[in-house]
Structure 1
Amino acid sequence: MDALTALHNRVSTGKLVEPAPNEQQRQNIFRAALRAADHACLRPWRFLMVEGQERERLGEIFLKAAEQSEGVPLTEAQRQRTLAMPLRAPLIIVAITRLQEHPKVPHLEQHMSTAGAVQAMLTAAYAEGVGVYWRTGPLANNPQVAQGLGLAENERIDGFIYCGTPDKAARQAPDLQVDDFFSQWKAN
């Protein structure tokens, strides 16, 4: 698939099954991340891969974090749903920003670089026929999840990228009109 086709047609795939991306697909997806815009070449991103039985351990981390953040016991249904979250895909990539002090590159821009790396991975995955979707939410910002994953004090989770084989054909990308989002600025 050529680059413009992938960029114009990429969509998230919500229903993912085994197998996870193979080694060749992974390398192409990972290499795409390394081309993200990166002011001062800080390379603020890093990624953890969670698969196999480690997904169950991640579910336990999610459950512990959810129980403590709620302040009240979760129902059994909530507990089971939380434990099963990482089982939605055979591979989860945790996108992490390593925040660095830099006089010209604020923390926000470092997060944006990580987001650019994630977007590049999503597009590369689409081009490779791999289904993916990006999740954030309260667990991405939960300090207990960060601790459970072994993050350093200066690291933040920017999302969980769920990867696998699409369970069905990808939906068609919406036909958005360029003129609805782009206009020429004219000085007064």
Structure 2
Amino acid sequence: MKNEVRDIRLFNTPVEYGLRSLFILSGIAPKAADLQRLIYYDYLVLHTADIDPEQTSLHPSYPFRSAEILIKRERLRNGLLIMKSRQLIKIQFDGGGINYAASPLTQKFLDYLTSDYANQLKSCVSFVIEKFNNYSDFELDQYMKQNLETWGSEFSREAYLRESMNYE
């Protein structure tokens, strides 16, 4: 029998992205969101301290975390398809493109998730939605573009300082 190499990842999997999307879609219901808005919301939910330093981010800060935006699209899309296959979301097609929305099962499913992480995720989603749900797609895109290059750059400044101290 041939040995198979499996790609077993715990983090940043389509299922993880899909589950976070359920929280986001439930939070904006009955509104729907396109993939780009979900990508932005997913980033903001994980890194709420980037928006407001008084908030606690769901995931730790690390250098150049804004690059996450570049890798989210495919994984998030695959996660949404997994959630759709379980009838946990609806996909809507209209003149504006493809949008995703909570299904009648979304909140019922989420009610079963009661861990500390799930509760913190709900809190972060509420914060992000309260702040950005009334932003147009253009306004949200502008906000992200204006801030992305600074998020995570505090580490590069720290590294620069350490480097300059070593050469004195």
Fold similarity call, TM over 0.5: no
- TM-score, normalization by structure 2: 0.29
By percentage of residues, which structure has more strand?
1
By percentage of residues, which structure has more helix?
2
Give the number of the structure with larger relative contact order, counting CA–CA contacts within 8 Å between residues 6 or more apart.
1
